[in-house]
């Protein structure tokens, strides 16, 4: 038997409960992972609340799209993985049955990669979703290059912090956007070349000033909402690119009237592709080895306190970085 987080109806954090269930055996092509830690993502809160793009399969839905642990059993026809290997789970094709908020989960072997050496389980739990999203959006989608000015909204969020580090890793220039100028110092310490604060600066004017009048080569937008038009106008008017990855502001977003290239990026388009996953893993591994990438952890909760972890996410975190649950 193993402990698993499930929910029978959508709603606030209290709908989550921990139950005991038999552990499933891995089928052909699958591995069972003993989870050591998992990241708590905004998508999880949306899934729990019933506002995610894919509705949860109720009742008794599991939850959680990333996690790390140790391979505990290997199904037939799996090569290159054995019991005892520390791994990251890179994608959960069906959270309702394979969600990572659990002591054990079974996953396709193709969705599991070796855990980068030297990472603790809690740091590893803060890595994959945020960094693969920032990498995929900036490098694979927008083609970020050295010297590009990259405007990053919600820069103190986990995707934003990853984007700052990834831009620095390749020699691009990260311009961090926050609503709150009190976060300026922390963002500069996190590697931002400059900070644009909504309570102090005009976004478009300040971006133009910081880019010699040109505008940002790439805008990474985790917020959208009504502010997206202004965000798009901060991009270079000819040849600029805007990539949206998130929807932190759930209100409708206008279609910006600027002649820039726009992409919508969903990390599943890459993490379900083994070749792309290998590229992401290689890039992140290199950044971890050199110290360019340093997963930021805000707070670690115990497994029994998973409801508290969701309450903390819903109310708005105190600090920057990932909420992690240690199992």
Ligand X SMILES: NC(=O)c1ccc[n+]([C@@H]2O[C@H](COP(=O)([O-])OP(=O)(O)OC[C@H]3O[C@@H](n4cnc5c(N)ncnc54)[C@H](OP(=O)(O)O)[C@@H]3O)[C@@H](O)[C@H]2O)c1
Q: Which residues bind ligand X (CB under 6 A)?
A: 41-43, 129-130, 133, 154, 156-160, 178-180, 183, 222-223, 245-249, 265-267
- CA distances (Å), origin 235, targets 192, 261, 286, 311: 18, 10, 29, 35
Other Cβ atoms closer than 10 A to 145? 12
Q: 90 vs 133, which CB is nearer to ligand X? A: 133
Specify the residue, 23 or 261, whose C-beta has the smaller distance to ligand X: 261
Shortest distance, CB of residue 199 to ligand X, whole angstroms? 9
Q: Rounded to whole angstroms, how far apart are CA atoms 160 and 137?
A: 11
Query: Nearer Cβ to ligand X, position 34 or 48?
Result: 48
325, 301 Cβ separation under 8 angstroms: yes
Question: Shortest approach of ligand X to residue 323 CB, angstroms?
Answer: 8
Specify the residue, 31 or 133, whose C-beta has the smaller distance to ligand X: 133
Mind giving me the DSSP string for 9-55?
Answer: S-SSGGG-EEEEEPPPPP-TTEEEEEEEEEEE-HHHHHHHHT-SSS-
Cβ proximity to ligand X: between 168 and 222 the closer is: 222
Q: How far is the CB of 73 from ligand X (least distance, A)?
A: 29
**Angle formed by the axes of helices 42-49 and 306-315, nearest 10°:** 100
Token pair belonging to 254: 């206008």
Task: For ligand X, give the closer residue by CB, 249 or 273.
Answer: 249
Cβ nearer to ligand X, comparing 159 with 216: 159
| Minimum CB–partner distance for residue 198 and ligand X (Å) | 7
CB of 197 to ligand X, least distance (A): 8
CB of residue 245 vs ligand X: minimum separation in angstroms?
4
Query: Smaller CB distance to ligand X: residue 210 or 223?
Result: 223
88 close to 113: Cβ distance less than 8 angstroms: yes
Residues whose CB falls within 8 Å of the CB of residue 308, separated by 6 or more in sequence, listed in order: 13, 301
Tell the smallest beta-carbon distance from residue 249 to ligand X (Å): 4
Helix, strand and coil percent figures for the chain, each rounded to 5: 35, 25, 40
CB-neighbour burial class of residue 281 (10 A; exposed 0-12, middle 13-18, buried 19+): middle
In angstroms, give the least distance from the CB of 215 to ligand X.
Answer: 20
Q: Say which residues have a Cβ less than 8 Å from residue 117's Cβ, sequence separation at least 6.
A: none
């Amino acid at each position: 038997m193993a402990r698993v987080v499930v929910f029978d109806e959508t709603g606030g954090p209290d709908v989550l409960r921990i139950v005991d269930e038999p552990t499933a055996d891995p089928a052909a092509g699958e591995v069972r992972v003993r989870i050591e830690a998992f990241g708590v993502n905004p998508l999880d809160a949306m899934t729990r609340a019933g506002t995610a793009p894919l509705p949860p399969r109720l009742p008794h839905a599991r939850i959680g799209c990333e996690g790390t642990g140790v391979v505990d059993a290997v199904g037939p026809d799996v090569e290159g993985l054995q019991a005892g290997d520390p791994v990251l789970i890179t994608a959960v094709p069906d959270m309702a049955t394979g969600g990572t908020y659990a002591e054990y989960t079974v996953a396709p072997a193709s969705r599991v990669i070796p855990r980068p050496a030297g990472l603790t389980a809690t740091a590893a739990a803060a890595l994959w979703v945020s960094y693969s999203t920032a990498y995929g959006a900036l490098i694979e989608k927008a083609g970020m290059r050295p010297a590009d000015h990259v405007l990053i909204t919600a820069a103190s969020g986990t995707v934003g912090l990853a984007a700052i580090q990834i831009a620095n890793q390749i020699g691009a220039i990260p311009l961090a956007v926050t609503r709150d100028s009190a976060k300026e110092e922390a963002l500069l310490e996190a590697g931002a070349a400059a900070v644009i604060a909504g309570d102090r600066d005009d976004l478009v004017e300040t971006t133009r000033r910081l880019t010699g009048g040109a505008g940002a080569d790439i805008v990474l937008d985790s917020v959208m909402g009504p502010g997206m038009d202004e965000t798009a106008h901060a991009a270079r008017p000819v040849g600029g690119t805007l990539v949206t990855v998130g929807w932190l502001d759930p209100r409708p977003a206008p279609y910006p009237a600027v002649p820039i290239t726009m992409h919508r990026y969903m990390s599943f388009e890459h993490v379900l592709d083994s070749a792309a996953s290998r590229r992401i893993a290689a890039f992140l591994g290199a950044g971890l080895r050199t110290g360019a990438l340093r997963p930021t952890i805000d707070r670690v909760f115990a497994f029994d306190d998973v409801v508290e972890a969701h309450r903390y996410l819903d109310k708005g975190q105190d600090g920057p970085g990932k909420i992690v649950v240690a199992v």
